[in-house]
Amino acid sequence: MQDVALAAGVSLATVSHVLNETRFVRPDTVELVRKAIRETGYTPNTLARALVRNSSSSVGLVFSWIANPYFSDIICSIESECYDAGISVLFSDTNDDPEKELKVIQDLHQRRVDGIFFAPSPDPLDRSFEYLVANEIPAVLVDRMPDKPFDKVGVDNSKALYLLVDHLAGHGYKKIGFVPGHEGYDTTHERIQGFSARMHHHGLDPGVRIASPCNTTEEATAQVEQLLTRGQLDAIITGNNLSTIGAMKALRHLGLRVPRDIALVGIDDFEWADSFEPRLTVIAQPCQDIGRNAAALMNSRIENPTGPIRTVRLEPRLVIRESCGCSP
């Protein structure tokens, strides 16, 4: 900075004000300083600045976003909100590995991020949560919302299953099976509970029609085939996009056509849902709104670390196409 000040013929304080925008500086002086910055090749030391200001103007994002395409839209929304606020986002993919997840959070903490957006993976030891609490790191839980002392935002998962079961029951389907998503997640438990509750509401017995949670499309394919060997089904609900793809593979393998032989509906309006034949009836999750609310919660938490913890539940939306038996 001293080299820049000498090259521009201004004081060190003026260079600081131009870089940090902490005081008005005449436009011609600003241009002199910027010209000197270009000529000297000066780059601000962001880590040193973070130490002085006690803020790095950066946040971490800890998701399993490569293996789970559903998170892409949420991540884009969070990044866009942070960019508009002048905040950098550091991305790390955990692949839903608790060991890697903890290491990523520790690394982000050492880089002095101001907060962490977190879609937690199942860990019986709760190591990541313990680390966040012990080090008083502002965090917002996104989509996966366990009962932990953090701000959180996600969809109303029970309502999502209510919408799907109501729609199928309204078509006269009675033998409805459910293929949940990933094992160990709160979203999966909430959706199983929502399915059972709504089936009972319609006087239908979920019985043995709930498959085991599925972590891959292959597991979902096997679970659908097992469901169909236990008894006749006239409709299937899938708990996420991977389960939907697995169910479609199983039905094709068994020679069953949708919706002529069996209806198929699911959660997640992923990119190809409107391109399949038939087009898929699904629950669309408000990914943009989830990201915007997550960013707002993070800003509030950073500004007021001791404020009340908030939980935001957003409404799911039923997108009716043809795989449920509705007309195109």
pLDDT of 53 higher than 60: no
Classify residue 112 by its DSSP letter.
T
- Mean pLDDT, residues 114-125 taken together: 94
Q: How confident is the model at residue 194, as a pLDDT?
A: 96
Of residues 290, 275, 208, 288, the one with CA closest to residue 245: 275
Question: Quick check: 50 pLDDT over 70?
Answer: no
Mean pLDDT of 42-46: 69
Between CA 200 and CA 203 the distance in angstroms is 5
The reported pLDDT for the residue numbered 48 is 59
Q: Which residues pair with 62 in a beta bridge?
A: 92, 118
Task: Give pTM, 2 decimals.
Answer: 0.81
In this structure, of 204-208, 237-241, 260-264, 314-318, the range with the lowest mean pLDDT score is 204-208
The answer, yes or no, to whether residue 51 has pLDDT greater than 60, is no
Predicted pLDDT of residue 225: 93
**pLDDT over threshold 90, residue 70:** no
Got the DSSP string for 118-139? E-PPP-TT-HHHHHHHHTT--E
Say what the pLDDT of residue 65 is.
Answer: 72
Q: Please name the amino acid found at residue 281.
A: T
**pLDDT beyond 70 at 3:** yes
Tally Cβ neighbours within 10 Å of residue 209: 22
Residue 208 has pLDDT above 80, yes or no: no
Going by pLDDT thresholds of 50, 70 and 90, the confidence category of residue 310 is very high
pLDDT number for residue 20: 75
Cβ atoms of residues 94 and 123 within 8 Å: no
Identify the residue with better confidence: 53 or 254: 254
pLDDT for res 269: 86
Average of per-residue pLDDT values in the chain: 90
Question: Which pLDDT score is estimated for 52?
Answer: 58
Contact in structure between 291 and 310 (CB atoms under 8 Å)? no
DSSP code per residue over 4-72: HHHHHTS-HHHHHHHHHT-S---HHHHHHHHHHHHHHT----HHHHHHHHT--SEEEEEE-TTT-TTHH
Look at residue 275 and tell me whether its pLDDT is greater than 80.
Answer: no
The whole-number pLDDT of residue 321 equals 94
